[in-house]
Structure 1
Amino acid sequence: MKIVIIGGHGTIGKTVVSHLKKDNEIVIASRSNADVTVDIANSKSIKSMFDKIGKLDAIICIAGEAKWDDFNNLTEEDYYIGLKSKLMGQVNLVRIGKDYLNQNGSITLSTGILADDPVVQTTSAAMVNGAIHSFVKAVALEIENGIRVNVVSSGMVEDAYEKYKDAFPGHNPIPMNKVINGYVRSVKGKGNGEIIRIYD
């Protein structure tokens, strides 16, 4: 399979790339130092990326930003960071990317546990994650050509535990092999419109 992984250099992305490249053709996309550059907050950049890559069997996005801060500090502009990047960035990957997928291709988006179990300072991030979950369930009812759309929603992964453990008190770090399997299930399985939760 020919698969583009947006965010393939990140904590989760590089692990997913390492696993999938064993028996697939992987194209890594990110804002810099990648096979192809893309800014998912910009729909023109997304279209340009797909034009350069050509036809694909699967799209995986493990990218997107959202502002973390106390609710009382968040401005309207702060919310737009998550809305433009993590939410509309992934919506546009589906909206534009479907035309570059081969029949029966798949699109896998990424969110996280904040959609269901938010912690402090995550009002914006939790809102965006929840919106993506609703989008995936709805778009799966209408997308054509046998294309499947799912989302992997993981808890705090073990490779990021030391950096984020204070923000997630009492949360169990998720083993990376479990996270990888979430993406494998979405790409290789037959599920459509699924929220693949990997929380504990």
Structure 2
Amino acid sequence: MKILIIGGNGTIGKKVVSHFSKDNEILIAGRTSGNVTVDIADSNSIKSMFEKAGKVDAIICIAGEAKWADFNHLSEEDYYIGLKSKLMGQVNLVRLGKEYLNQKGSITLSTGILADDPVAQTTSAAMVNGGIHSFVKAVALEIENGIRINVVSSGMVEDAYEKYRDAFPGHNPIPMEKVVNGYIRSVDGKGHGEIIRIYV
């Protein structure tokens, strides 16, 4: 397969690329590096990326940001960071990317445990993750050409434990192999409209 992985140079992305590159042609898209560059908060940038990448068999997105801050300090503009990047960025990857997918291709988006089990200072991020879950379940009812769409939602991954452990007191870090298996399930399996939760 020819697989486009947005965020393929990130903490999770590197491990996902390592697995799929064994038997597939991989194109990595990143904000500043990769085979192609993209700013997922900009739909024109997304369209340009797809035009350069050409037809693919699978799209995986492991990218997008949202503001973490105390609820009482979040401004309207702070919320728009997550809405434009992680939420609408992934929505636009689906909206535009379906035209560049071969028949029976797949799209895999990424969220996280905050949609179901938020921690302090994640009002914006949790809202965005929950929105993506609802979007995936709804768009699965209408997307055409045999395309499948799923979302991988992981807990705090072990490779990011040192950085984020204070924000996730008592949470068990998720082994990277388990996280990668979520993406394998989405791409190589038959599931459609699924939220693939990897929380324990």
TM-score, structure 2 length as denominator? 1.00
Aligned partner letter, 2:161 = Y
Distance 2:52 2:7 in 1: 17
Q: Deviations over 1:34-55 (max 9, x none)?
A: 1000000000000000000100
Identity of matched residues, %: 84
Structure 2 counterpart SS, 1:145: coil
Aligned partner letter, 2:109 = L
Aligned partner letter, 2:24 = N
> 1:7, CA displacement in angstroms?
0.3
For residue 124 of structure 1, what is the aligned residue in structure 2?
124
For residue 85 of structure 1, what is the aligned residue in structure 2?
85
Structure 1 counterpart SS, 2:145: coil
Structure 1 segments of 4+ aligned residues over 3 angstroms from their partners:
none
For residue 158 of structure 1, what is the aligned residue in structure 2?
158
Aligned partner letter, 1:26 = I
For residue 69 of structure 1, what is the aligned residue in structure 2?
69
Q: Deviations over 1:116-157 (max 9, x none)?
A: 000000000000000000000000000000000100000000
Unaligned runs of 5+ in 1: none
> 1:33, CA displacement in angstroms?
1.7
TM-score, structure 1 length as denominator? 1.00
Distance 2:53 2:61 in 1: 15
For residue 190 of structure 1, what is the aligned residue in structure 2?
190
Aligned partner letter, 1:43 = S
Distance 1:188 1:18 in 2: 15
Structure 1 counterpart SS, 2:41: coil
Aligned partner letter, 1:161 = Y
Aligned partner letter, 1:113 = I
For residue 5 of structure 1, what is the aligned residue in structure 2?
5
**Number of residue equivalences:** 200
Please give the root-mean-square deviation of Cα atoms over the aligned residues, in Å.
Answer: 0.3
Matches within 5 A, 1:86-101: 86-101=86-101
